[in-house]
């Protein structure tokens, strides 16, 4: 009894994939059209017989028990067939192409990306907007059938509705049947004898649609809102794609956004910063009072809780940070100059001692650290 494992050059515990790989390599090497008649043909039959047994689990089990289940003529049966040979020389894709059916005429429409500009108030509180989109909609004349009203698609005469046609090609195995998409119906299996005059047989037309959109509070530049099924209708009335709204937030004249917080700068006179005062600030929520304590320093920050931007998905709002900018007067009259000099004398600051501040304590560094959230 022949040693089929040795013929294929695989160990006795070889996996089915190893056996199949070894067979394909040897079949290509010893096929009569490659190796020639005589020894090459005998070797090819021997390899085929070994693969016939070892590729079939039941026959392999019998062989391992000492029996030779192969047929006397070494015919190809059980786990071996024409498909294996076809895949060996042409690849799996070629074997699968003949099994493909007609292509559906109706296909899903494409998605659309629309950029939507919003102002800071809309991003803070949310908003309801109308968005105009130029897209493909279902043809009102044929309702997606692609045909003139009163007509219908007809089965393709060239392929008989299969969507593909078969061709006979010659190879070293002899004549091989291949399959190709039908050129007459483009693989659909049907033809449109009288296309719809409205959509020219597309099943859809271009139109402008108005979409109602709820913008949630907290959106920011780059946020995308998905409108499922609001995109273009597919060919032949296929399912509609989606619309993605990409938010782009406009800059505000007063407030700067940092995440969910808002920042603004409030200019106050030097005297107000020194003595303290109550000021009114116009916020996105209306006028709010800002309490400046006596001795307020330049770049000091007053935080108004809950007056920032809405937090997307989690609820609540950020804060409003008011940065104080102390305005030093430059147009003093003689009386005001005298008053300031008298104040300097009273505070013993006529010739104040100068000292360098630490590198991290300057006005601008404090402002920069505050904006960075440190």
Residue ranges for the known binding site for Zn(2+) are: 139, 142, 156, 159, 182, 185, 196, 199
- Compute how many other C-beta atoms are within 10 angstroms of the C-beta atom of residue 123: 26
- Going by the annotation, the residues of the binding site are 139, 142, 156, 159, 182, 185, 196, 199
- Answer positive or negative: Cα dihedral of 79, 81, 87, 88: positive
C-beta separation of 63 from 53 below 8 A: yes
Strands (E), the chain: 112-118, 127-138, 154-155, 164-171, 174-181, 190-191, 204-215, 224-227, 243-249, 256-258, 261-269, 277-283, 286-292, 301-304, 320-327
Q: CA–CA separation, 297 vs 295, rounded Å? A: 6
Residue with token string 């299969």: 162
Q: CA–CA separation, 164 vs 159, rounded Å? A: 6
- Answer positive or negative: Cα dihedral of 81, 82, 83, 84: positive
């Amino acid at each position: 009894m022949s040693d089929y494992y040795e013929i294929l050059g695989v160990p006795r515990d070889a996996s089915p994939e190893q056996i199949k790989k070894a067979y394909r390599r040897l079949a290509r090497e010893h096929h009569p059209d490659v190796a020639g008649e005589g020894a090459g043909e005998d070797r090819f039959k021997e390899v085929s017989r070994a693969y016939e047994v070892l590729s079939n689990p039941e026959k392999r089990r019998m062989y391992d028990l000492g029996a030779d289940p192969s047929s006397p003529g070494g015919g190809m049966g059980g786990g071996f067939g024409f498909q294996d040979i076809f895949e060996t020389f042409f690849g799996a894709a070629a074997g699968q192409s003949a099994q493909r059916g007609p292509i559906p005429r109706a296909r899903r429409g494409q998605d659309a990306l629309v950029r939507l500009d919003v102002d800071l108030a809309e991003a803070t509180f949310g908003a309801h907007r109308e968005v105009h989109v130029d897209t493909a909609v279902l043809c009102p004349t044929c309702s997606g059938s692609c045909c003139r009203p009163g007509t219908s698609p007809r089965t393709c005469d060239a392929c008989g509705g299969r969507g593909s046609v078969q061709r006979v090609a010659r190879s070293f195995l002899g004549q091989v049947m291949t399959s190709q998409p039908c050129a007459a119906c483009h693989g659909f299996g049907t033809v449109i004898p009288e296309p719809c005059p409205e959509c020219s047989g597309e099943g859809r037309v271009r139109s402008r649609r108005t979409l109602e959109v709820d913008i949630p509070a907290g959106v920011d530049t780059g946020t995308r809102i998905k409108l499922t099924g609001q995109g273009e209708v597919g060919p032949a009335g296929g399912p509609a794609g989606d619309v993605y709204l990409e938010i782009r937030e406009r800059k505000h004249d007063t407030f700067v956004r940092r995440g969910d917080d808002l920042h603004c700068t409030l200019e106050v006179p030097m005297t107000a910063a020194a003595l303290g005062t109550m000021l009114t600030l116009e916020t996105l929520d209306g006028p709010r009072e800002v309490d400046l304590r006596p001795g307020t320093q330049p770049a000091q920050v007053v935080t108004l809780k809950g007056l920032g931007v809405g937090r997307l998905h989690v609820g609540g709002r950020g804060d409003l940070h008011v940065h104080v900018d102390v305005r030093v007067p430059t147009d003093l009259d003689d009386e005001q100059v005298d008053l300031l000099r008298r104040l300097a004398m009273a505070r013993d600051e006529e010739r104040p001692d100068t000292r360098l501040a630490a590198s991290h304590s300057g006005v601008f560094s404090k402002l920069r650290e505050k904006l960075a959230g440190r």
